[in-house]
Amino acid sequence: MAKDTLSITDNRTGKSYEIPIENDTIRAADLKQIKVQDDDFGMMSYDPAFGNTAACISKVTYIDGDNGILEYRGYPIAELAEKSNFLEVAYLLLHGELPTKSEYESWVHNIIHHTIVHENIKRFMDGYRYDAHPMGMLLGTVGALSTFYPEAKDIFNKQIRDIQVHRLIAKMPTMAAFAYRHSMGMPYVYPDNDLSYAGNFLNMLFKMTELKYKPNPAIERAIDILFILHADHEQNCSASAMRNVGSSLPDPYSATAAAIAALYGPLHGGANEGVLQMLREIGSVKNIPEYIKKAKSGEFRLMGFGHRVYKSYDPRAKIIKEIAYDVFEVAGKNPLLDIALELEKIALEDEYFVKRKLYPNVDFYSGLIYQSMGIPMDMFTVLFAIGRTPGWLAQWIELLEDPERRIARPRQIYLGERDRKYVPMSERGKKKKA
């Protein structure tokens, strides 16, 4: 009968070891028993960027990259996008179950109660330069919230922790919209809690002189779906940052600021900006064959194609493509859409891209949608952060409740110099005598 173990023979010593296998995984610490000398530290695994290392056990999000499956708490992303709304999905991520009617009403009430930010936050944001990037403003402001709510440091008090969760989900759109209005030189718009979560965000972005802002239902729904699609994505760079910083047990505002900082990088949250820049560079449908040729030769990178996890069509991309047309119908067709559609068509038929499983990802169409709504490019990642907030918080809470939680402390392989002799400054640079 087969055993759930891995047998390893160390050819340096001739010793054999039997390592337990659980969930198709071995524990890296079990490798430490493999030594040449008794006083050795023991064998480590080397895995740059954690491409094949499970850093935690999670019940939040399931991804099957080969088959293009994404599930939140077991629910397919397409079903949630079709039948649910963002706040309901946020509850699901954080509590593990879809809410009952009374639970949902209480949850929404708690979120609405915290949408207003302290007036000092406004003054804090006024301190940024007129041309400050909204993502940088959001990063700094979220971190600053830890000074407004010092009780948030009591992270193992569930009641206090829940309040901080409500605050972060509620205030993120407010701070994001304030950052946008600051960058535009426009007065801040306060929340209107008669509106939906997405509708209120649009109100804070775009309200002008009208007494009551009324969001377009198609655009309101599209924003809500985009928030759902970005709500969580397993152990990505920003979720890992949330967990790594969270492992030292700071307040959730500090950990969330770290997650935002990770998302700020162009390789994580800025990919949809790259897609728009690429489409502008291509300029016309007739130029696509030339750029496809450049991409194959390595001269040009096709942005919005391929994914670290998905080796088939990104399930989020399919949903975004569908809602794109609803937005274009009311906001006007994005002039870059024809280039995007033709580029997608050619890439999906070209053996070079098919062989490498370079399918469109979530970023391919999202930038086109945001642009059609009148949202500038430097706000794209900010919207990503709003949607991802409940996922970050779900990952953080799961970390805190993990019985195996320890402060993150990766090992390294040291290949630098050893046992060097100190040379006084007066002697440095002098050639040694023959």
Rg (CA), the chain: 25
Name which of 122, 71, 115 is nearest 96 in CA terms: 71
114 a catalytic residue:
no
The alpha helices in 304-421, defined as continuous H runs, are 315-331, 337-349, 351-355, 363-372, 380-400
Nearest to 61 by CA among 259, 316, 361, 357: 316
> Would residue 363 show up in a list of annotated catalytic residues for this protein?
yes
Chain centroid to CA 155: how far? 23
Give the chain's end-to-end CA distance (angstroms, integer).
70
Residue tagged active-site, from 224, 232, 314, 363: 363
Name the β-bridge partners of 6: 19
For 189, the enclosing helix (H) or strand (E) is: none
Contacts of the segment 330-335: beta carbons below 8 A, 24+ positions apart: 330/216, 330/218, 330/219, 331/216, 331/219, 331/372, 331/373, 331/374, 332/372, 333/372, 334/368, 334/369, 334/371, 334/372
Out of 166, 307, 314, 378, the active site residue is: 307
State the DSSP H helix or E strand holding residue 239, giving kind and residue range, or none if neither.
Answer: helix 237-246
Return d(Cα 269, Cα 262) in angstroms, integer: 8
- Three-state SS string over 21-88 comes to CECCECCHHHHHHCCCCCCCCCCCCCCHHHCCCCCCCCCCEEEECCCCEEEECCEEHHHHHHHCCHHH
Exposure string (b/e) for 248-269, b if CB count within 10 Å is 16 or more? Answer: eebbbbbbbbbbbbbbbeeeeb
- Write the DSSP symbol of residue 422: P
Beta bridge partner(s), residue 5 = 20
Residue 317's Cα: distance from chain center in Å? 16
Alpha-carbon distance of 224 to 241, in angstroms, equals 25
Catalytic site includes residue 268: yes
Set 268, 326, 350, 402: catalytic member = 268
Catalytic residues: 268, 307, 363
